[in-house]
Amino acid sequence: MNRSSLSAARTPFIRLLAPLLAGIICQEWLQLPIWVCILPALGGFVLWSFFVSRDSIEEQYRKRTLFGWGLFLLVFAMGAGLHGMHNRPPQPPAGFYPIAIAHIDNDAEEKSRSFYCPVSITALADTNGTIVEYDEKAALYLEKSPDAKRLAYGDIISFEFRLQPIRPNTNPYAFDFASFMKHKGITRSQYVGQQQWIHLGEKPHSELWFFTSSLQRNLSGQIDYCHLSPHNTSLLKALLLGERQKFPQELRQYFSAAGLSHILAVSGLHMGVVASLIYLLLFPLACSESYRKLRPLLTLLVLWLYACITGLSPSAVRACIMASFLLAAEMLDRRNSSLNALFAAAFFMLLYDTNLIFDIGFQMSFSAVAAILLFYNRLNFWGQSPHYPVRWISSCMAVSIAAQIGALPIAVYYFHTLPLLFLIGNILILPLLPFIFGFSFLMLILSSLHLPYEWLAAAIDFILRYIELFSLHIDRLPWSHIDGVWLESRYLWLYFIGGILLYITIQNRSKKCLWLTLAFCIIFFIADISTYRPPRPEIIVYDSRESTVVQLSDRNGCYILLSDTLAMPQKLAGEEYRMKNGQEEYRLFPKSASPFEGNATYIDFPFALFHDKRLLLLDGREWRKLSTDNPLEVDYAIVSRTFRGRIADITKLFHIRALIIGADVHPGRAMSLQNDCFKQGIPCYDIRSQGAWILQP
């Protein structure tokens, strides 16, 4: 009998999860029509028809491979079809409908210039009052006002219907907000002025969700009045309720450097603490045989209620589904595999929403828990020690290391920070979470009953302050973390696929798996080396709405020309691309910069010569007042929003090979410049509509 933890006998849900994942990823990459997804299902039914033919039991056993491949094709087709249907663009009705009626899906979240509200549009209306049904999720950015701030789940509003597609970020390797929102089911957004919407009433889709949302708001307000320091109030809301909107960004950086960022999101760790506290409080039920099974049932109900209060994050839902399998097995006196429960949770969550596979929390949660279940026993070296402190330290170390094995590569891939002292942080901080949760729940109960709770608030404030100071000191330690780590996606695939193959090889002691693992790694590295291209000099005009950013980079350095002053602390466009190429150090050339001359580079703002390419950055100076008898040759003229002249004025001074219009130029102004270029016979490139401009001289 196969004793591997990943065998289909011990984890049968892996046979369903693997093809479902394959179908979702295939559909995401290929964007196949829905009818094409039916073909693998037909192939699966054909294989099953051969399997269920009237044969002896021995013959059917020999044909079991047909059953397995048939099941794979069926679930593969189901995953691809579901993902295709979840991401179908909405079909607007024929006619003109300027008014939309929408349901607020989440409480208004304050941004720098507006209030953000995700909504579900349920109907459209024309000027005659005709209403038609409509179904689309959208992102609304409401002008700041007291009415917009009060919007919460369950509210119904109407607004002027002018949705626009969310514009993708075309800068190389930059975070694509459009793709991020698409995987949340939102492809269009709109800014709505204060006079462009009205509140119609309140009608929640789900009474349970409305109740839990109201309860979360009440608990959040109750924490505000418990006399904690401002930072600790935000920290306690993040720990207890999953509210991170008002959590300071600098504190997030400290927690990330200390390897403690996972405690800021409600996850299996939080659910485990809550479940342990509830299970401990219900210990009297274990004394009675009649009520013994109520203990896991009540624990499960409280867990799901807590998950709803904290927003049903993917990690919380995963923990609840796993707990449901394990506690149900306890109630039924059955054995169950934690790893199988993990795969089952992933399978059912992806059936509900295939886009969850692209959620960072989903990826980190499942990879961390899978690593804990696979490696904890092997890493718990002193788990059998007769001394409790030794067993406790060994257990904390094993859990922390195992979780980092699963989640750290994903965290580095997305956040580009590698914490080196995560083990110290987890050993010293994680044991405090049960006390924080227990004291906090007791404090909320006492404050709601108008009983003295100040002593509890002081204790919680002290513990949270200790966690904050500890993270701050870890962040300031030399080599506590490494910033700017860039990990390509292909190496992430190598890590997980190679790691799984290696685990199966060691677990089963199989020579076939060993050769398969070696072959996979060799083929990967051969393909990686064969596709390597040495870095070349590049000229990049980034897709930036704040300012025209021109980057000149080669092996000798990185130089950036700015047409306008950026508002601090606004980051400069292209940060991710420079990080990938190891060019975090660069020289900035604003209007007032002195001339610079280097190897194959000469910069005298607004002119630049880079590897024999002549550049001109058209800024706000009075070009029409300049004149020359001998126009200069310019390969590329780059227009910024500060340029107020005409192309005809520039062509009197320069012979321009091509014109590049920055993304910060107003669309109307850009259209006028394109028309001028057409009349002058000058090729034109508009970054706002065509994406970042990259040239390799």
- pLDDT tens track for 412-428: 888 888 888 878 877 88
Domain ranges for the chain, please list them. 14-86, 99-205, 211-483, 489-530, 538-695
Q: CA 78, CA 39: separation in Å to the nearest integer?
A: 11
The phi-psi region of residue 594 (left if phi > 0; otherwise alpha if psi is between -120 and 50; otherwise beta) is beta
What is the residue type of 174? A
Q: CA 229, CA 461: separation in Å to the nearest integer?
A: 7
How far CA 529 is from CA of 357, 516, 577, in Å, comes to 29, 20, 21
444 neighbors 219 (Cβ within 8 angstroms): yes
Query: Which pLDDT tens digit goes with each residue over 277-315?
Result: 887 888 777 677 667 778 778 888 888 888 888 877 777
Say whether 530 sits in a helix, a strand or coil.
helix
Query: Which pLDDT tens digit goes with each residue over 198-232?
Result: 998 888 777 777 787 788 888 888 888 888 888 88
Characterize the bridge pairing of strands 596-598 and 601-604.
antiparallel
Radius of gyration of the chain (CA): 30
Q: What is the full DSSP assignment across 280-349?
A: HHTGGGGG-TTTTTHHHHHHHHHHHHHHHHTT--HHHHHHHHHHHHHHHHHHTT----HHHHHHHHHHHH
Query: Which pLDDT tens digit goes with each residue over 61-100?
Result: 666 677 778 888 899 999 999 998 888 888 888 888 889 9
How far CA 220 is from CA of 114, 246, 270, 335, in Å, comes to 22, 12, 17, 39
Separation of first and last alpha carbons in the chain: 63
Q: CA 329, CA 494: separation in Å to the nearest integer?
A: 36
Q: What is the full DSSP assignment across 66-97?
A: HHHHHHHHHHHHHHHHHHHHHTPPP-PPSS--
Strands (E), 356-416: none
Identify the CATH number of the domain defined by range 538-695. Answer: 3.60.15.10
Give the pLDDT confidence score for residue 158 in this predicted structure: 92
118 neighbors 106 (Cβ within 8 angstroms): yes
Pick the CATH number of 99-205 from 1.10.287, 2.60.40, 3.40.1350, 2.40.50: 2.40.50
In the predicted model, residues of the chain with pLDDT beneath 70 are 1-10, 51-64, 286, 289-290, 330, 332-336, 565-570
Q: CA 414, CA 486: separation in Å to the nearest integer?
A: 9
596: Cβ contacts below 8 Å, ≥ 6 apart: 559, 587, 589, 602, 603, 604
Q: CA 127, CA 134: separation in Å to the nearest integer?
A: 16
How far CA 240 is from CA of 219, 302, 370, 445, 492, in Å, comes to 10, 14, 24, 14, 32
Question: Token pair of 365, please?
Answer: 């949660």
Characterize the bridge pairing of strands 114-125 and 99-104.
antiparallel
